[in-house]
Amino acid sequence: MRVLLTRPAEDAARTAAAFAGRGAETMCAPVMQIRMRTVAPEALRQVLTGAQTLLVTSANGARAFAAAVPERGYRVLAVGPASADAARDAGFADVLAADGDVHALAALVRGRVTPDGGPLVHVAGTHRAGDLAAMLARDGFEVRRLVLYEAVPVPALDPGVQKALAAGQIDAVAHFSPRSARVFEELLAAAGLAAQAGSLDALCLSRAVADALRLPWRTRRIAEHPEVEALAALVP
């Protein structure tokens, strides 16, 4: 099976390795570009003053924080293994991973920290899935959101990817978020290849990702857990 990976280039290597471990070939077709945002030093200080823990909901967030802030002494609670690995790679030592979505991360927070320990800082992008701050506010936590990057749709699918799709050389497409799944379908349609969805399996990281799809895919398969390894396990 040959699988098209729609993740940003920064995350493609680990994802490709997981699929290779299941015997699948991969081709990278990022549908988003990651752009770091600049935050004034005073604004950073205001957000981080008194913070007890960083909440990281993507590997991009971990990398963006590491690029913006030299301090590595913060405890990091990450949404899943990939985000946790990115935090460790950036030099953070006190890192714990949840089971792959914001609900699991909220549960990890409740089990590991208390509201009286100080504010939590959610390192985020301009678009986010789920309102982590609202979930935790009900338990008395103060969550400060620090926006350090944005994911911008690419203008078009790579010509090589378009050629492979048109030639029937792709068997499945891996989708990682509702937003990127919708963007891929839009790019597919813009390339005049929407009909190709009928000959492709959609491998979806979660039910929310599958529900975001609109084209008539051959099949829609949903990972048992919202983790890359579980997504790769969908390969027959």
pTM for the full model? 0.88
Residues 117 and 219 both lie in one domain: no
Residues 121 and 40 both lie in one domain: yes
Q: Would you state the pLDDT for residue 39?
A: 95
Residues 192 and 147 both lie in one domain: no
Q: What is the mean pLDDT of each run of 10 residues along the chain (236 residues)?
A: 92 91 97 94 96 96 96 96 94 95 95 97 88 94 96 97 98 96 98 98 96 98 93 95
Q: Would you state the pLDDT for residue 128?
A: 76
Q: Would you state the pLDDT for residue 13?
A: 86
Residues 10 and 102 both lie in one domain: no
Residues 224 and 141 both lie in one domain: no
Per the rule left: phi > 0, alpha: psi between -120 and 50, beta: everything else, 214 is alpha
CATH of the domain at 214: 3.40.50.10090
Residue-number span of the structural domain to which 50 is assigned: 34-151
User: Which amino acid is present at 197?
Assistant: A
Q: Would you state the pLDDT for residue 167?
A: 98
Q: Would you state the pLDDT for residue 10?
A: 77
pLDDT in tens, 172-208: 999 999 999 999 999 999 999 999 999 999 999 999 9
Residues 23 and 130 both lie in one domain: no
Alpha carbon of 111 to those of 64, 73, 129: distances in Å? 26, 20, 22
Q: Please report which helix (H) or strand (E) contains residue 174, including its range.
A: strand 172-175
Q: Would you state the pLDDT for residue 60?
A: 93
When divided into structural domains, the chain yields a total of 2
Q: Would you state the pLDDT for residue 156?
A: 98
User: Sheet of 75-78: strands edge to edge?
Assistant: 32-36, 143-153, 120-125, 53-56, 75-78, 95-97
Q: Would you state the pLDDT for residue 8?
A: 84
Q: Would you state the pLDDT for residue 234?
A: 98
Last residue of one domain, picked from the residues 151, 166, 191 = 151
Q: Would you state the pLDDT for residue 153?
A: 97
CA-wise closest residue to 5 among 129, 216, 17, 83? 17
